[in-house]
Chains A and B, each alone.
Chain A
Amino acid sequence: MGRNIFRKEILIYTNALLKTDPFCFSQDNKDLFLKSAIECVTSHSANPFYKHLLKAKSFSASDLKREEDLAKIPFVMINLLKSYEFLSTERKNISLTLTSSGTGGQKSQIQLDQASLERVKLSANQIYKSLGIIDEKTYNYLCFTYDPYIAKDLGTAFTDELLTTMTKKNEVFYTFKFDPLKNDFFFDEIGTVNKLKEFEKSDLPTRILGFPAHLYFLIEKYNLNLNLGEDSWLQTGGGWKGHDDKQIPKPDFRELIQKKIGIRKDHNRDLFGMVEHGIAYVDDKEGRLRVPNYSRVFIRDPKTLEILDYGEVGLIQFLCTYNHSYASFNVLSTDWGVLEKDDAGEVLTIIGRAGIKKHKGCAISANSMIGK
């Protein structure tokens, strides 16, 4: 392992980038991202495989001269993260290891040093703040996830815990309880329904975090008719994986949520995130996933690997610069997506999982608990 020559204090551009508005795409901000990418590529050349990849593709940080060059940075196929470790720093520097959930298959992981961890938290905060999701109120939280104090390194639990820190919180309820007798988690449906009813009566607004299918399932099964109030929020993530046949279009889902539990449509925000990548792609008020200036998204043709135009469906590549400890900063995912551009920037639409074989990702294990 080569020595990580960059320290938090000397990653000037990377740190500066995260202080800017994630949805301000001024030339200066874009330049800042380019320069932070140079810092990032340089950091990760400490990883032997990434160094090999740079050499194989005849690429170096000095090749990054303009925005178009970002697409030339060698990427790592996301499946490699399930089989190999990609540390770009010494192990002793690692503060947090996050793994994707999953009972049977191999797990992806990411390891963050303290600086990278702080940066990813800051990036999320900035994004949520910029999209108007964070305010000064105190909330009751209901999280459709595992208790993070038990499932310490699970990505979904980390995300939900992170999200609960963005506002002042009163009570946090985790729907997946640990059964020590079975040594496994279970979906506490009745407890969840009762908690929602309790929150409805509370003076405080509610924030619900978690998989959309879980909430949909509860609404259907228990025929919920609640009004959580004007100030409540629903922040979903993880998609409908494992329950594709029940999936309903986003506008219909927003309509249903407003009708059945009283959460306004513009307070219903979906999140797309990947443990391996870390940047949050969050819905704006209209329910469109916004790409922040903290990352770049490319859509590639799976056969030729060429970058596709706006509006064309292909594999999504995610490039970010906050992470200097694990060489997963530039990954080609196995998700289909489309990138579109409007006046406010780029909008990402996730189409679904690519590939022929079943890919057991983060969402499967928790989703499998519906009906248990």
Chain B
Amino acid sequence: MFILGKKQYIKASELDSLFDKLELQLESLYNTKLEGILCFLESLAVKILESDLAYINSDKAIIKDLLSRDSVLERIRLELGNDKTTDIFSPLSKTHLETKLIPKGIVCQVSANNVFLGVLDNIVSTLITKNILVLKVSSGDNSFMDFLTEKLLAADPDNKIVSFINFIKFKGGDLEFENILKRRSNKLIVWGSEDTVKAYRENLGDFTELKSYGPRISIAIITNEYLQSSGEDLFIKLSKDISRWSQKACSNVQNIFLESGIDSKEFAAKLMLSLPAKELEDKNYFVELLKIKALIEYEQFEGKDSFYIESDNGFIYKNQFSQIEPTVLNHTIAIKTFNNLADLNQQLKPQKNYLQSCALGALGEARAYYTNSLALAGIKRFTFPGQITDSILGAPHEGSYQLSELVNIVYDQFTPSVDEFKMHIKALNPYYKEHSCMIEADLKLDKFNTNQLTDSKEQGLYFTSGATTGKPKVAFYSYHEIELIAYKMAKTYKQAGLQSKDLVLNLFFAGNMWSSFSVIQKAMELIGATQLPLGGNCSEEDFKTICETFRPNIVFGVPGVILRFAQYCKKSEININFDKFFYAGEKLSLSSQKELTNIFGITDFISAGYACVDTGIIGYQSPNCLKSEHIIYENVSDINIKEEQILVTSLLRKSHPIIDYKLSDKLEWSDKSHSKFKLLGRCGEVIFIWGARIDLGIIRECLGDVMFQIFVHQNESIELVVNDEAAKPSVIKAIYDKSNDLKQTLSYEVFSEKFIMTKKEFIINPKTGKQALVLDMR
């Protein structure tokens, strides 16, 4: 840290050498982990807050918030999208690109005035984006700089971070110094008057970027309706908007625009009573007041309604200048009146480029009317009266995000070929070198451990199966992966005709290994559709009430669940209609489709996608697919078909990779050149039916050492075929009792009607000679 005393000015040659030195430090800061910077800021907060100085005490909460780890991380997330991207390449939401934020380099902040919080914010924003800070301290009063310097050094005794913070001081307007800053800074951020900004804009270095903040003016607007409904409290609120930080901040109100009909004099008198005492005044302030008073007295001589009132608390005036006007601050307020929005716009127009915040006292439709119009007039931020000096974390500053001004965005267009992807994962994690072909057992908890993850610190969701049927399975998805899946799915749903005007009933299951419920919810959010997230476990009565009340036109869910509700509605003669049914998890037979058309009037049956929580999404149904066909999501999944079985590689899942994972489904290519395939049925150990999963392990366990074959009929009934005398009907009850899924989905009475056991010959596949365990004829 290069610090000069408050009376000492730097020499031009010193400034040039400082830049030489700082350029050598750039890489070191770039390679410093954000964690180190966060620790430093937290330590700085502790040191600063130990103080009892008045300007610290008055803003303790703000200082704490500004420097806290959580706030800084949240600020980065909100302004830059991802708090990892200053350290590593990491996907950004929306673009989903592997992105890293690269610092601009040496950032020179030219401070407008020496407001402690402003300087602190300059330090935080520059450091967390890993830029070296050169802060040109204003030549005004900067007594707090000694205090800040002491605290910065105390917070970093090893000089690890503090060496990246530099304060310089030279006489404003000196071209020799300014030219060095203009030439050698990578980013020049100028906070100040129009003249200061103009001076720095001229002869800027070819590779120096300039961002200017200020000068700015903020206003309040009060409508008749708002005034009547708010009462005397309004004056206390406005008083805060005017007087906090002695009206020095760009967000402090300087002009109050009153809708015509409001008595300006009475308003001014009440406001004056609410204002706190002014700071000790500068003599120049009174000179300005003399000028204002002289003009007002002349206007009064002309018979105009101009006036001024003054006290130890402030100076409030109304003149005949029907335009916004900067005041001389220190609790000085100009009252203006306006007839309508057009008039107001006209009055604001001359300061269009300087407008910042507006404390808007307007309600209901009027508020929307004002915000819409005034945003175009140049206002960058609206609040209610009393809140204009309160900032919200992550909000844009003067029309843009401050942190984004301090970084360049670099991305890795990570779209490798399938082989490249596999090699990449294997290079990343040795587990996948040893398990080049994955099976379901790989995901069982006894095998799964964090070694399967590429980054054990990644945040996301663990989907796990229950432990009742043996060892549970685990599939981990990072938040970004879930978002990306939802994004891909949303695109295909839009192709299938789903629109933002639709009202969607989500009947998928949540919990367990069911990922559909949350992913569909996210996909609908991306489409902008309104949702009724009811879930598959809802009661028939709830289904009826919700559907009759809200009348959703789109339904998502497992066929078995909606068929159950269809039966209920038919029996109870309830009239509910949907346009489209997006289904997944089970086959939807033609007879079921007919039934749903008859009962619910559904005309479009669309696959919600071919996916499995083990692997992630695999295929989608486009409008030109047949009902059993899907197309592989490009750059998301890869399928390799071996003897009617499929090996899936997910190109999307990098946190918990899935490489050549064997799925228990059978499929064949219907148009390989267009990645279109046809599902032939399940060959695995689980049957998905009635919104439930029937684990064949349970059946095997209940039957004992008995051969069996299962037929899933088109009418959604199951026939368990055995050829052994030992098999007894009591097995059906035992299977029901052992399966949590079945118990949660339907009653034993219904189950025993749909699940029958017969004794006959098994059917053998004439081609392979193999006896299929399950013959799904849906």
Partner-B contacts on A (CB < 8 A): 49, 52, 76-77, 79-80, 83-84, 244-245, 302-303, 315, 332, 334, 354-358
Contact = CB atoms under 8 A, between A and B. Distances in A.
A355 B298 contact: no
B173 interface: yes
A350 to B, nearest CB: 15
B749 interface: no
11 contacts: A52-B301, A77-B291, A79-B294, A244-B173, A302-B283, A302-B287, A303-B281, A303-B283, A355-B288, A356-B284, A357-B288
Contacts of A334: 287, 291
B207 interface: no
B479 interface: no
Interface string B317-336: 00000000010110000000
B301 A49 contact: yes
B295 interface: yes
B705 interface: no
8 A-B pairs with the lowest CB-CB distances in the bound complex, closest first: A77-B294, A302-B286, A354-B287, A79-B291, A355-B287, A303-B286, A245-B173, A302-B287
Q: Which of A80, A84, A244, A356 neighbours the largest number of chain B CB atoms within 10 Å of its CB?
A: A356
Given A52-B301, A303-B286, A355 B291 contact: yes
B174 interface: yes
Contacts of B291: 77, 79, 334, 355
B283 to A, nearest CB: 5
B294 A355 contact: no
Given A83-B298, A302-B290, A303-B281, 10 more contacts: A49-B298, A302-B283, A315-B290, A332-B290, A334-B287, A354-B287, A355-B284, A355-B291, A356-B288, A358-B195
Contacts of B147: none
B33 interface: no
B447 interface: no
B285 interface: yes
A46 to B, nearest CB: 16
A356 B290 contact: no
A52 B283 CA distance: 28
A99 to B, nearest CB: 19
A52 B14 CA distance: 62
Nearest to A303: B286
Interface residues of B, number: 22
B284 A80 contact: no
Interface string B276-304: 00000111111110110111001001000
B3 to A, nearest CB: 24
B494 interface: no
Contacts of A303: 281, 283, 286
Given A52-B301, A245-B171, A245-B173, A356 B294 contact: no
Contacts of B286: 302-303
B132 to A, nearest CB: 28
Given A77-B290, A245-B174, A302-B290, A356 B285 contact: yes
Contacts of B329: 356
A79 B288 CA distance: 10
Contacts of B195: 358
Nearest to B171: A245
B288 A80 contact: no
A56 to B, nearest CB: 8
A354 B283 contact: yes
Contacts of A52: 301
A357 B328 CA distance: 8
B295 A79 contact: yes
Contacts of A79: 291, 294-295
B199 to A, nearest CB: 11
B178 to A, nearest CB: 11
Contacts of B287: 302, 315, 334, 354-356
A245 B177 CA distance: 13
A332 B295 CA distance: 13
A265 to B, nearest CB: 28
A357 to B, nearest CB: 7
B177 to A, nearest CB: 11
Contacts of A76: 294
A49 B285 CA distance: 26
A245 B171 CA distance: 9
A80 B295 CA distance: 6
A84 B298 contact: yes
Nearest to A304: B286
A80 B294 contact: yes
A354 B284 contact: yes
A49 B329 CA distance: 30
A356 B174 contact: no
Contacts of B282: 356
Q: Which of B282, B283, B287, B301 neighbours the largest number of chain A CB atoms within 10 Å of its CB?
A: B287
A270 to B, nearest CB: 23
A84 B294 CA distance: 11
Contacts of B173: 244-245
Contacts of B283: 302-303, 354
A208 to B, nearest CB: 26
A18 B381 CA distance: 62
Contacts of B294: 76-77, 79-80
Contacts of A332: 290
B750 to A, nearest CB: 84
B704 to A, nearest CB: 96
Contacts of A302: 283-284, 286-287, 290
B298 A80 contact: yes
Nearest to B321: A83
B289 to A, nearest CB: 8
Q: Which of B174, B282, B284, B293 neighbours the largest number of chain A CB atoms within 10 Å of its CB?
A: B284
B296 to A, nearest CB: 11
A76 B298 CA distance: 10
Nearest to B292: A79
B301 A83 contact: no
Nearest to A77: B294
Nearest to B332: A356
Contacts of B290: 77, 302, 315, 332
Q: Which of A49, A315, A354 neighbours the largest number of chain B CB atoms within 10 Å of its CB?
A: A354
Contacts of A84: 298
Interface in B158-190: 171, 173-174
A251 to B, nearest CB: 21
A319 B216 CA distance: 39
B74 to A, nearest CB: 38
B308 to A, nearest CB: 14
Q: Which of B284, B290, B293 neighbours the largest number of chain A CB atoms within 10 Å of its CB?
A: B290
Interface in B343-357: none
A334 B286 CA distance: 11
A186 B313 CA distance: 49
A76 B295 CA distance: 10
Given A77-B291, A79-B291, A302-B290, A356 B328 contact: yes
Contacts of B281: 303
B689 to A, nearest CB: 80
A332 B290 CA distance: 10
Q: Which of A49, A52, A83, A302 neighbours the largest number of chain B CB atoms within 10 Å of its CB?
A: A302
A284 B326 CA distance: 42
Contacts of B293: 77
Interface in B503-553: none
B111 to A, nearest CB: 19
B356 to A, nearest CB: 18
A80 to B, nearest CB: 5
Q: Which of B282, B283, B326 neighbours the largest number of chain A CB atoms within 10 Å of its CB?
A: B283
A12 B519 CA distance: 100
Contacts of A244: 173
Nearest to B329: A356
Contacts of A80: 294-295, 298
B286 to A, nearest CB: 4
Nearest to A358: B195
Contacts of A357: 288, 326, 328
Contacts of A245: 171, 173-174
